Structure 1
């Protein structure tokens, strides 16, 4: 079944090629397609295009379909082009001509637009929750291991003392900025495109503000041409924000792979969280972190992949936009999986104590010795030169005691302040606003 078909069917090869993976990808959108239809028919009844009894039976049947989707008992049947066709087919089979009325005043173009925005809104909330879980773990580990020192590097050369408190806390704070950018994407997502139809509006007196309220959107995409132009742009913006989270996870994973290496030996994990070698019995490979790193590197390429699909397209709808589902939808699931696996690994990490007692790390404290001389009254450049000459002549001796007190330093991690920033960022999403609207729609 095709919503656009009249009296002639497409050649099977054309049909197969153009449908592509839409049946599979549209299962991600299934429940959101139903929500969009519930709002749309409520609006149609308000402007006289549906009778109240027709609205009642359509709503009841759509809610039954929604329940089946939630229970995992819904499929897009073989030969059915997409989720929109499947839902309308089921309504028509059950309700006859009444089922055919739900498409008045809209197109598959704005139908898929609203489905995608509802889906992305839901997934952004899911990702925020997973990021918060990882953030909380990082803050907890930062506090737990705040006194465990490790080498800091610049140019991958020994530089200055760091700590696992700083290391865990750095990635916690990085996630805050990642969510700041995700909030920007959320604001783009949380605008209603429904009612733009094929991209040029409708001659029906539809009430777009009503569907905006019913679906819990913060506002409209007002201009109907721009609403359609948002297809692709929205996905790219979301992908860009997701790539920031992926970048944080990739860097963390690279650190973990290095720190687990025997030449570093800073951390370890239980054997059940690492893998072995088929011929080397001593191996404990960080496969989880390597796969997180690789998957997240793929995610960082996602905005460019999307941009290359939509670049140089004129305004209006174009069929290659359906390919964006195949790029973005699975990527979202991969990112959530990476976030969960990062939590599993870091909650089972073991940290080596007294790492910097090793003689090879003594020059890490050279800046500390320079600073002591400066505090005693020596000009910085003279102090720098003296300590440098002591190192060259083999006279350098260091005290491993550290006294860093400024905000964000080894001795003052500012974890409460960092946690407050994260909570304020998450509060800015106001997820409950849309969730209350959806709850009312499903009553």
Structure 2
């Protein structure tokens, strides 16, 4: 297909969404479309939505308006979780021309007959029970790191979460296809892969369209460790009950898998964990952190936590705060609970007032700053490997060590996508780490 049309993408939410946006964008480019930045004039704007929090929903209208400022005649398409959950609601927003559901988004080009604006957006959305097949995705060209999707959907029934309603049942890519995608990423000169999915520790379920596990997450990790050319593999968010000792031990000994784990906690109160229908208690979480730190004392551990869940009294919140204070963790991702339609939690009593939710969120964000600072200080004097990214931010280039310490150096385009062994020596006023270039060792490409 030959066309002079331009397409732009805006992605809200998680790494999984970024991997899917990148794959869908390549489909457009393969059909002759030119991909441009979202703040440029385009003929088609694709907005990949998120519905984890209420804030992501509200941002959608603002993004639509910004696209129409670039081209008021542009064809606007909404995809993603919010598009699956609330298709009619999105279709009614002024300027939206098409809404595609969980399976339809991967066939977006099939639905574009012409680019004439619609008075009301067209909706093509399946019932979520029909989202039972797997579509592989990975990002290339958007960032120094590549996000590689290995799993989709979730069979867990957490009472606050809409993801199973938006993405369907747990299902996995075949191991063969994951490895083929990893090799494709490697061939592009990308040095780091981040594994992503909805519940990646459940990898193997639905691999060949059935519910039994053909492979485990550990099988996946061991196979990816052997892919030539990829110098780093990073595990994104993984449930504590699915992060097994064998996986931790393997990562500790691996040359390619990095010592960085992001493990959702959600609450330090066993009472609230039960109400949330999480599949572990706080004692297991303590054990996971201790096991990681014993095997990898320099490991970075990130934590997801929800504040303001129904029934969270001051005492139960303090259980979470005190647990997080005591744990040897590195940073927090704090989510203020927001009511989501069609979840069990929205019907629960003992609603926490919004001002209390905000206060607790602020307390935990402050704790996160302290935890990150303490972790960075613990790494001063260490020789670590930095992979530099590609953006000039106010005259500086940023990068990450293998254990996720963010570093900065004066901008130099020759540093982009290069790896260097350096000794970390100071933390600046922005909370980022500087290093002594005299100790620098350039690693082979």
TM-score by length of 1: 0.25
TM-score by length of 2: 0.25
Structure with the bigger percentage of helix: 1
Bigger relative contact order (CA 8 A; separation at least 6): 1
Please tell me whether Structure 1 or Structure 2 has the larger radius of gyration of its CA atoms: 1
